[in-house]
Amino acid sequence: MNDWPEGWSGDNRAGRYGRGSASAQPESARVMRQVRRGAAPPPGSGPSAPPYGGGVPQQPSYADGQGHGGQDGYDSGYNTGQVYGSPGGRGPASGAPGAGRPAPNWRRRIKWTSITLVTALVVTTVGTYFWADSKLNREVDLSKVIERPEAGEGTNYLIVGSDSREGMTDEQKKDLHTGSAEGKRTDSMMILHTGDNGSTLISLPRDSDVEIPSFVGSESGKTYKGTGRHTKLNAAYAEDGPELLVRTIEYNTGLRLDHYVEIGFAGFANIVDSVGGVEMDIPQDIKDTKSGADFKKGKQTLNGEEALAFVRTRYALPGSDLDRTKNQQKFLSALASQVATPSTVLNPFKLYPTMGAGLDSLIVDKDMGLFDLAGMFWAMKSVSGGDGTSMNMPISGNVGGNVKWDTGKVKTLVEQLKNDEKVTVSAN
């Protein structure tokens, strides 16, 4: 019985290797090389060739990795196990430590770490800037000041300490010895000039004799004609606020004021406390029941309450208000130096409370920016460091109970400030 399909016989099966022929003859295109591991057996030993018929040639050994008996230089890689390019045939994930993942690219890591840190720094800086800028109380409009002198070289700040008790509790008023007077008056006034020839800090006695010029009311917009009336300088502030004070100082000196900065009692004390106090070298024992000052001579760190008492004291000083202005200059310069130290600037737990306390309590002009404010602090620091000059407005005596300025010296001083020259004028 023939089990093959019809038309198929042993004859037509002959020569059909791979299709069930009895005498399998391999097709040349289907010859498979044998991969043999280990050394090739010597001729005549080992098992004979598979019984595929006498027509199957013996396959070459690949034991030497050369292929075709090592004659044609071919290396398949199977014999040595280097199929995946790793010794011993273990593949890419085995072998030496760290195999299976690429070595870290440190240059790339450093690059992205740097980018991340710089980005975080920029975002923090920008955020801090807008936060701080939003806290500035820009309430003073210097555009309302009329008949202003021409601007000179450098920048001139008017720094005012007011006796405002706004926002203070009865307990705070008692602790700070401020009293409970309504409204606010100027307790101190200083002109700070900054320029290429150092900084100059000039105190204006609040009892200075000045003429009130024509001015436009800051609230009413009404024009008030000057009558030649003379009064104390701090009366100008009490009459119509910062704008009339600026107008009066500019009229009596001929010096244009570029910026206005004001701070009240509570704000001053808060700033001092936020920086952990300010060290002062007090030259003499001071006891003043009106300001609350009670100090022994020598170096000591003043907290906010003590600092306020120190800068307000005048009755216990030989030169009264003139000595008080000197103490105010000395303390403000020391405070600026304390604020600008690395221990404050580089410590966010100290910097932000200090900025918050200071910016919340400052009243500035509408054109004042953070960089202007920073420039003011750095200039005051330079004064305390000996790179600037601090002085009182030159005076020549008294008139009607008011302090009279030395007209000649004031004129020379103003010219030097306008031209940003080194100040040579002395207060005495």
Report whether pLDDT(4) > 90: no
pLDDT at 7: 46
Higher pLDDT, 133 or 34: 133
**216: amino acid identity, one letter:** V
> What pLDDT score was predicted for residue 412?
96
Closest by CA position to 38, among listed 91, 81, 74: 81
Which pLDDT value is given to residue 244? 95
Is the whole-model pTM more than 0.75? no
Contact call for residues 377 and 336 (beta carbons, < 8 A)? yes
Distance of alpha carbon 17 from alpha carbon 274, whole angstroms: 99
102 DSSP 8-state letter: P
Q: Is residue 340 a contact partner of residue 311, using CB atoms and an 8 Å limit? A: no
Considering the chain, what percentage of its residues have pLDDT values greater than 70? Answer: 69
Interval 173-198 mean pLDDT: 73
Coil, helix or strand at residue 6: coil
**DSSP letters spanning 242-254:** HHHHHHHHHHHH-
CB-side neighbour CA atoms (13 Å) of 217: 7
Residue 35 pLDDT level (bands cut at 50, 70, 90): very low
Please report the DSSP string for 17-48 in residue order.
TTTT-SS----GGG--PPP--SPPPPTT-SPP
| Model pLDDT for residues 370-408, shown as the tens digit of each residue | 889 888 888 888 887 777 888 999 999 888 889 999 999
Give the whole-angstrom CA distance, residue 338 versus residue 349: 15
